[in-house]
Structure 1
Amino acid sequence: MTRISDEGRLRELLEPDGGEFSEIPSGTLNYSLTGEARNGTVLLIAGLSMQRTDWSPELIAGLHEAGYATLAADNRDAGRSRMNDSIPTDYSLADMATDLRDLLETLDPNAAHTNPGPVHVVGMSMGGMLAQHLAMLAPERVRSLTSLMSTTGAREVGRPEQASKWVFLTPAPTDSRDAYLAYAQRYHEALAGPFFADPERARQTAEMAWDRGLSPAGTARQLAAIQSDGDRTERLRALRVPTLVAHGDADPLIGISGGVATAAAIPGASMYAIPGMGHTVPWQRAAELTARLVAHFAAAAASVDRAHGR
């Protein structure tokens, strides 16, 4: 897989026409649904402070080529999504997962395609936590679960490296575009780890984020939701969803022990360690990750067919 450098192609994959809006009980979610769902749809859930435009375009392109549509949404308090004024600001990860369930029920993204039914759910970082919650909340909506660079919430696993802790404590500047772009570059370098920093891609996605709108206060509320959620280990033991846990072995923000613990907690889960990858999906690892995801999706679909005698 080659790196996507063309600005037009990048925006086509990450920000097609500004996306669409869906009204759900808690507010309005901005989303994009792209590709053809010949084999199904993949829900991509972004992490803390991230926008839906922060996903790897190479990963999205690879999923499209493999016959999967991709559905990516801004979480509440991020990007172009907005909460209703009546919704409390001290929300939980379960509340955020409920937003995604409501989005799926509103869109029914596979309905117009050849493979209707549940979606494959892939969440990275905080998005992995939301994916776990969505699988617990609405297993009938989840054909497979992938927890990417995430953790169980147990305090003794997935600890960040000391040099990366500042990302939790330093809000993004909003008074100057240049200041924000400089912050975003430093943020990317802190997350990418020692092998796969991509300053140009960091600038491109940061420019999109600036244009779409920033919410440091929203990031603080998301972080509070993570902190209040506690250890999900025992809750994860009740899951019966085909699960892949993928984690970079050079992740400086959520150590790989968080992924190992997640795989150990979910019955039947498989663990996939990605060499050299930090807390981003670099283009150099996108093809490898795409292939592993597609194999996981196919196995999950096959298990459903067997269960129904097909």
Structure 2
Amino acid sequence: MKLLANGLQIEVDDTGGEGRPVALLIMGLGMQLVGWPQEFVRALVDAGFRVVRHDNRDIGLSQGFEHAGTGNIVWESIRQRLGLQVRSAYTLHDMARDSLGVLDALGIRQAHVIGASMGGMIAQHLAAEAPDRVASLVSIMSSSGARGLPGPRSDVAAMLLRRPLGGSEAELVAHSIRLLRLIQSPAYPQSTEVLAERLTFSMRRAYRPAGMFRQMLAIGADGRRPEVLPRIKCPTLVLHGEADALVPMACGLDTAKRIPGAKFIGIPGMGHDLPPEVCAILAHHIAPFLHAAEEHHKP
């Protein structure tokens, strides 16, 4: 369903029913709400939570920013390495306000906020800027954005920049599979058939690579987060794969170090994806953490 959130049309999925504590899931770069596997959603629902997912702006079925163009991602990357301000159509703070707008539109006063990758960055902003609305924060395979942290492995970075704007469905799926093979969880590889089925479903739902590039620029423009993180006061859990080739584990460790009282858990064999085995591991850590946070907030 579409909701008006922060002045934008945002596509939302709401599972688990009212009367339960809410888990708001925020997905990463270029990923749609369906990027949260049903196994993970079902595990949280079975643990007693109402799960709200949404397509971030410019991706999936949510409102786009085609009028803004894509900019020059290579030149902006050079500006970032030189310490210059990256120019972007919008910011991660804007995207955090979209997520807050989703809660407002659904009449939800407070939620546990769970973000993956770029979604973790957005969730960090939300927890810092609207502390009364965030019961707890879970940051998965994400980063503090601090200068000097390691970036993607070189072959991963090159593949991201080569993402095609067009082509046949088969060509686009094949390219995405090559990228996923570079960042997959080495201990939990998925078959090519499973990946192709999931990618085909996602692309037929929506394929918006220009939006992904604009989101990438928003990440590059987000230089404030290292100073923002110490303001987070809610219970925080940072989860990160020890084999992450896109966002190395040092980024998750730095995130946890900057958030007062945050707990860090490294997951052996996990890369930068969510195969069923990883979903089960994440849910095993997250569900008890959310329940403990619920107890923390009881009067």
How far the C-alpha of 1:25 sits from its partner, in A, is: 3.8
Give the structure 2 partner of residue 280 of structure 1. Answer: 273
Counterpart of 1:70 in structure 2 is 51
1:23 equivalent in structure 2: 4
1:237 is matched with which residue? 230
Q: Which position in structure 2 is the counterpart of 1:41?
A: 22
Q: List per-residue Cα deviations over 1:185-229 (Å, max 9, x = no partner).
A: 112112214222213332222112211221111111101110010
Q: For residues 38 and 274 of structure 1, do their structure 2 counterparts lie closer, same or farther at Cα, with a shift above 3 Å needed?
A: farther
**What one-letter code is carried by the residue in structure 1 that aligns with 2:220?**
Q
The aligned residue for residue 205 of structure 1 is 198
Check the 8 A contact 2:44/2:283 in 1, yes or no: yes
- The change in CA–CA distance for 1:176 and 1:273 in structure 2 (over 3 A counts) is same
- For residues 193 and 25 of structure 1, do their structure 2 counterparts lie closer, same or farther at Cα, with a shift above 3 Å needed? closer
Matches of residues 164-203 of structure 1 in structure 2 within 5 Å? 164-198=156-190, 199-203=192-196
- What is the alpha-carbon distance in structure 2 between the residues aligned to residue 166 and residue 53 of structure 1? 25
Is 1:264 the equivalent of 2:263?
no
Which amino acid in 2 is paired with 1:106?
Answer: A
Q: Which amino acid is 1:140 matched to?
A: D
CA change 1:268–1:37 in 2 (3 A) is farther
The answer to whether the 8 A contact 2:58-2:65 is kept is no
The residue type paired with residue 50 of structure 2 is A
Alpha-carbon distance, 1:274 to partner:
0.8
1:59 aligns with 2:58: no
Structure 2 residue 246 is matched with structure 1 residue 247: no
Q: Cα offset for 1:290?
A: 0.5
Q: Which moved more, 1:87-96 or 1:25-34?
A: 87-96
Equivalent position of 2:216 in the other structure: 223
Task: Say if 1:63 and 1:294, in contact at 8 Å, map to a contact too.
Answer: yes
Distance between the aligned counterparts of 1:62 and 1:174, measured in 2? 36
Give, in angstroms, the shift of residue 38 of structure 1: 5.6
1:251–1:278 contact (8 Å) kept in structure 2: yes
> Which structure 2 residue ranges, 5 or more long, are not aligned?
70-87
Whole-angstrom CA distance in 2 between matches of 1:42 and 1:72:
9
- Which deviates more from structure 2 when the two are superposed, residues 88-97 or residues 48-57? 88-97
Q: Distance in 2 between matches of 1:87 and 1:138?
A: 28
Shift of 1:27: 1.8
Q: Is residue 119–residue 141 contact of structure 1 (8 Å, CA) maintained in 2?
A: yes
Tell me how far apart the structure 2 counterparts of residues 201 and 41 of structure 1 sit (CA, whole Å): 30
Q: Distance in 2 between matches of 1:127 and 1:38?
A: 25
Determine if the alignment matches structure 1 residue 135 to structure 2 residue 110.
no
CA distance in 1, matches of 2:159, 2:47: 35
Residues 114, 137 of structure 2: 8 Å contact kept = yes
Structure 1 residues not aligned, in runs of 5+: 1-19, 110-116
Q: Normalising to structure 1: TM-score of the pair?
A: 0.85
Alignment of 1:126 onto 2:97: no
1:30 CA drift (Å) = 0.7
60-69 or 258-267: bigger deviation: 60-69
Q: Alignment RMSD, CA only? A: 1.9
Alignment match, 1:9: none
Matched AA of 2:228: R
Identity across aligned pairs (percent)? 36
Residues 10 and 57, structure 2, Cα contact 8 Å, conserved in 1 = yes
**1:75-90 alignment, distance < 5 Å:** 75-83=56-64, 90=89
The Cα of 1:37 is off from its aligned counterpart by 5.3
Asked if the contact 2:60/2:208 (under 8 Å) is kept, the reply is yes
Asked whether the equivalents of residues 163 and 175 of structure 2 are also in contact (C-alpha less than 8 Å), the reply is no
Answer yes or no: is the 8 Å Cα contact 1:36–1:67 preserved in 2: no
| Distance change (3 Å), C-alpha of 1:162 and 1:290 | same
CA distance in 2, matches of 1:58, 1:83: 28
State how far apart, in whole Å, the 2-side matches of 1:202 and 1:137 are: 37
| Secondary structure at the counterpart of residue 152 of structure 1 | coil
Deviation at 1:84, TM superposition (A): 7.2
Tell me, yes or no, if the aligned pair for 1:53 and 1:208 is still in contact at 8 Å.
no
Paired position in structure 2 for 1:101: 100
Measure the CA separation in 1 of the matches of 2:65 and 2:58. Answer: 11
Kindly tell me the number of residue pairs found equivalent between the two proteins: 280
Please tell me whether the aligned partners of residues 128 and 151 of structure 1 are also in contact (alpha carbons under 8 angstroms). Answer: yes
Structure-2-length-normalised TM-score: 0.88
- Relative distance call for 1:55 and 1:175 in structure 2 (3 A) is same
| 1:10 alignment counterpart | none
Deviations 1:72-102 (A, max 9, x none): 1000010110147898971000011111111
